[in-house]
A and B are shown apart, each in its own frame.
Chain A
Amino acid sequence: MDENKPIEAIVCKACGGEPRLSAQCKVCGGAGIGVASTDGFLVWEERVDEFMIMLRKARRQINAFFHLALLAIVLIFLSLFAWQVSKLEDLTGLRTIAFWFSGHWYVTLFWFACFIGTFLIFRLSEYSSESKDLPNWGKTHRQLEQEEKSAAKKALFRFDVAPYFSPAARDVVESAYNLAKKLQRTEVTPQTLFAAALASPSGGIFMVRLGMQFDAVKGPITNVLMADDAGNPPVHLSRDAKKVLSLAYADARANQRRHVEVMEIFLQAFKNSPKIQDLLDQLGFPPEHVVHVGEWIRLRSKLKEDHDRFQALAALKPKNTMNRAMTAQQTPLLDRFSEDLTLLARNGYIAPVIGRKKQMEEMLRGIESGRRSLVLVGEPGSGKTALVEELARMMVEENVPPELFDKRLVSVNIAQVVAAGDPGMAAERFLSLMHEVGVSGNIVLVMNNIESLTGAGLSGPMDLAEMLASELDKGYLLAICTTTPQAWTRYIERRSLANKLIKINIPETDYEETIKVLMARSGLIEYENKVYFSYAALDKAAALSERFVHEKASPERALDIIREAAVLARKSRGEKTFVSADDVAKVVHEKTNIPVESMTTSETSKLMNLEQKLHERVIGQDEAVRAVARALKRARAELREGKRPIANFLFLGPTGVGKTELTKALAAEYFGSEEAMVRLDMSEYQDKASVYRVIGAPGDDRGGLLTEAVRNKPYTIVLLDELEKAHPDILTLFLQVMDDGRLTDGVGRTVDFTNVMLIATSNAGTQFIQDEVSKNVPLEKIKSGLLENELKGIFRPEFLNRFDGVIVFKPLTMDDVNQIAWLMINGIAKRLAEKGMNFRAEDAAVEELAKEGFDPLYGARPLRRVIQERVDTALADLMLQGQVGRKDTLILEPGGNIRVEKAPQL
């Protein structure tokens, strides 16, 4: 049955499913609404009211009492018998038939006890379990297929689902009734069922996993319930509630559960109640999270059931390397270089795989198609090994094609085989191994990373790939190999080995699949670390790893993160704690240096004050500062598109007006330090060949300057200084970075640029800017003039178009330079304060310096020189002459004079 197919409910035409009318309806017999299924037309026929609740309770108690009474009678009779027998002086009589038919009262009682005992067995097997097993529970594939065939006949009959509900699930239905009655509602709705399921013990587990506080949701849910129709008893099950219960049965059936459990009611009630969905969404629990957590709890109990079945089957598999037919031979050399995966699986060391059905089918089909071997091609961490391990588990269960029956899966360590260093020796060893595999005949070989057979990464002519190809050609062995897409293309694809292998692509798991894998595997991690995962932690790990971690493929990278987060949580808060989304975020932050945690108040205020902070360092460039600060706010609030860099800016303007300074200030204020940037002076990249310096030469594992820097530090500023000087081919590279947020390096690795802020500076059009500014043309007009005319010959329009902002830095005014002079003087004061001296300047002195250093052509740079010459040099002289000591105050006076005020003697 397709699990994703929505199941439609069918409403009784006679009564329309209206609860009051359907109670008397002859057509549907009170059901009102139902769901078509293989078992028949699923309906909830049982009445739910006080009397029935009481009857069920009474029935349970009376049955228990009755069984206890029967047991007591049996025990008393047997005790009396034993007591009488113990009084006999001669026990030899017991061996005679005559004794057992002697008619003595205690012998009679003994036989009655035996008879009542059989009655008790009958009672216990028929009446102690309150719920029936689902018809498809524990059935094999074939049996189920046959059932599906006869479904058409059954579908004509009504099928009451109530007896299949577990006692806990029954309790939920009854407490939903009680809840509706207590709140004086006329109907039990899906909302009521949801509330009752949430208040049950299973609901408790659910809330803990989801991170939901019952007290926090109790009020809002009650409000939703109060919106249902009010009225006096009798309370009926609404049409939708009946639908939910029928669907819960269908759900349990689709998942091959033994009984309908609370989680099925819970999930179906949720899926069929838009009001509850909206409410929980509003409270911060999106519908997909709620459904995932419900499925998670179910998956856990299903894994337990599967485990029990696996254990029983594993007992049949041999405990050693011999197969069951005993045709195999000892393989001492192979055992030395390998690991028996079937044996590991048999002994319970291999966890089951969730999902990956398509790839597994492809694998089995490949094996069945004839004696051809397979190669699984996927990125490291995409789950190739897990898939092979799952095959080992299936081989333990013997749930495999005949080609794999009664065989063992052996993983050869190729690195050890070729470790001899001497090619001749490695080849000899390899052939001996193959020989053992051949004569043993019960071995399926697993070879991870077969590119190492070709000598990849090794020096010297170590190449066993051809040898393996010719051995595979002989057809006596079946091998399952793994490799990465890069290695496949580079080392294997064009060789004869490739023709001998059926290629199966193992793509990365997507978010949904990753979450499922995390759900399945988290149990073991929880057990090892004695912590519990909240759903938010798994969700965050899946989402963040997909976005920010690029060294490995999913699901491995997400698993790595939750493993580390579990250790972090245990170490910081001790055992029995919950691993939260913040723990996961912390781990991702430490790994990637990208702040992914939810924003703290200090960070929020930092971000809000960013503009002001930047203004303190960069003078006179209001527009530029504003644009940059805004881009960063958008990035941190996750409002930007995820597929591009945080922002792409082009800073235009004359030299010395603060383009680089603003970038540095930003790096210092937000990215941690002034050095938190990758700076490329494009004047060094003027020829065509320098492309390779940026992204690395083809095949060179060291990668390029830019790609490696960003790969190692993905959260950074990339500053491209003097962009106009770069070779056009390099600019073309950046087209892709700005548009897609990624760049492929020389070896084919894709480097993520989505957490980078790309800033390019250029002096192009400086003359135009200066001329226009002197003519008092507004900045906006200058910018359009630049874009339309001046820059056309320098940058291609599509390149300019990709910048989020082209920001024109205007030439500095006298006033600006004055402020900058003060900044510089304050910088000197700071440096002197470190030496224990005080420094201050008189206004006139600073104005004098600013006037001297003002040059509309060169911006603030001449000012720096003036200050260096006038102030720094004078200070150095004073210090070298020993005229100034600690605690003294230096005062800069007009005319470049520096006065020393000695500190009072203590």
Chain B
Amino acid sequence: MCYNIRVNVHLKPLGKFLLIDLLGSIAWFPVWWYTIGLKRQAIKAVKSLQYRYQAYGFRIWIRNFFVPMYGQYDIGGRAISILMRFVVLVGRSIALVVEALVLMLGVALWASAPALFLLFALTNLSKGLFMDQIKFLLG
């Protein structure tokens, strides 16, 4: 085989594949999950919150807080407008906070998922029933 002379050249990628890609990934999994993976989820959550923030038009509404709605420049119109803007802003803020909470929950779930799942699985396993029942099942 003509590969023999370049064994050291090829060992590296092969070893990298076997050790890092397949076996190493098991060790890499928790590290990845709590660094890159978590960061990715957090960014995703922040981005979708930003999009919601944009969609609610907070900046526009705050900037135009005292500008009457529908061009009603009379005092009554202004008063109603300010009131409406206040109500809408409060309403949207609440909505945004709820959305933020939901998103945070999502990130928290991501962070806790593997650890909790493993913990629960091991707790169940530690009860000792598993092997007996499996044996029973197989038997």
CB-based nearest A residue for B12: A47
**Which residues of chain B from 35 to 50 have a CB within 8 Å of any chain A CB?**
37, 40
- A sample of 20 more A-B contacts (CB under 8 A), given A52-B13, A316-B55, is A55-B17, A100-B120, A103-B124, A103-B125, A105-B129, A105-B137, A108-B121, A111-B117, A111-B118, A111-B124, A114-B117, A115-B121, A118-B113, A122-B32, A123-B25, A125-B37, A325-B61, A327-B67, A327-B71, A329-B70
Given A103-B130, A115-B114, is A328 in contact with B71 using a C-beta cutoff of 8 Å? yes
**Which residues of chain B from 99 to 139 have a CB within 8 Å of any chain A CB?**
113-114, 117-118, 120-121, 123-130, 133-134, 137
The answer to whether B71 and A440 have CB atoms under 8 Å apart is yes
Which residues of A sit under 8 angstroms from B120, Cβ to Cβ?
Answer: 100-101, 111, 114
The answer to whether B64 and A51 have CB atoms under 8 Å apart is no
Q: Encode B1-33 as 1/0 by CB contact (under 8 A) with A.
A: 011001001100110010001100110110011
Q: How far is the CA of A406 from the CA of B124 in the complex (A)?
A: 58
Distance in Å from the Cβ of B44 to the closest Cβ of chain A? 12
Q: How far is the CA of A126 from the CA of B27 in the complex (A)?
A: 13
Distance in Å from the Cβ of A69 to the closest Cβ of chain B? 12
Given A55-B13, A63-B21, A123-B25, is A439 in contact with B33 using a C-beta cutoff of 8 Å? no
The answer to whether B14 and A55 have CB atoms under 8 Å apart is yes
The answer to whether B129 and A103 have CB atoms under 8 Å apart is yes
Residue A104 CB within 8 A of the other chain: yes
Chain B residues touching A, range: 35 or more
The A contact surface, by secondary structure, is helix
Distance in Å from the Cβ of A758 to the closest Cβ of chain B? 65
Q: Which of these, A59, A105, A315, A325, contacts B130 with CB under 8 Å? A: A105
Residue B54 CB within 8 A of the other chain: yes
Which residues of B sit under 8 angstroms from A118, Cβ to Cβ?
Answer: 33, 113-114, 117
Q: Encode A429-468 as 1/0 by CB contact (under 8 A) with B.
A: 0000000000111000000000000000000000000000
Q: Encode A637-678 as 1/0 by CB contact (under 8 A) with B.
A: 000000000000000000000000000000000000000000
The answer to whether B134 and A105 have CB atoms under 8 Å apart is yes
Q: How far is the CA of A102 from the CA of B70 in the complex (A)?
A: 63
Which residues of B sit under 8 angstroms from A327, Cβ to Cβ?
Answer: 64, 67-71
Q: How far is the CA of A441 from the CA of B72 in the complex (A)?
A: 12
Tell me which of A47, A115, A117, A233 has the highest count of chain B C-beta atoms within 10 A of its own C-beta. Answer: A115
Which residues of B sit under 8 angstroms from A439, Cβ to Cβ?
Answer: 71
Which residues of B sit under 8 angstroms from A59, Cβ to Cβ?
Answer: 17, 21
Residue B60 CB within 8 A of the other chain: yes
Tell me which of B33, B117, B118, B130 has the highest count of chain A C-beta atoms within 10 A of its own C-beta. Answer: B117
Q: How far is the CA of A540 from the CA of B10 in the complex (A)?
A: 52
Q: How far is the CA of A125 from the CA of B70 in the complex (A)?
A: 49
Residue pairs across A and B with Cβ atoms less than 8 A apart, 10 shown, are: A51-B3, A52-B13, A62-B22, A101-B123, A104-B129, A117-B117, A125-B37, A127-B25, A316-B55, A330-B70
Q: How far is the CA of A621 from the CA of B60 in the complex (A)?
A: 85
CB-based nearest B residue for A47: B9
Given A51-B10, A114-B117, is A325 in contact with B64 using a C-beta cutoff of 8 Å? yes
Which residues of B sit under 8 angstroms from A324, Cβ to Cβ?
Answer: 57, 60-61
Which residues of A sit under 8 angstroms from B33, Cβ to Cβ?
Answer: 118, 122
Residue A795 CB within 8 A of the other chain: no
Shortest beta-carbon contacts, A-B, top 8: A103-B127, A111-B121, A329-B71, A115-B117, A103-B129, A108-B124, A325-B64, A105-B133
Distance in Å from the Cβ of A375 to the closest Cβ of chain B? 28
Residue A349 CB within 8 A of the other chain: no
**Which residues of chain A from 303 to 329 have a CB within 8 Å of any chain B CB?**
315-316, 324-329
Which residues of B sit under 8 angstroms from A234, Cβ to Cβ?
Answer: 2, 6
Tell me which of A125, A126, A234, A315 has the highest count of chain B C-beta atoms within 10 A of its own C-beta. Answer: A126
CB-based nearest B residue for A101: B123
Which residues of A sit under 8 angstroms from B118, Cβ to Cβ?
Answer: 111, 115
Residue A391 CB within 8 A of the other chain: no
Residue A137 CB within 8 A of the other chain: no
Residue A734 CB within 8 A of the other chain: no
CB-based nearest B residue for A323: B60
**Which residues of chain A from 70 to 119 have a CB within 8 Å of any chain B CB?**
100-105, 107-108, 111-112, 114-115, 117-119
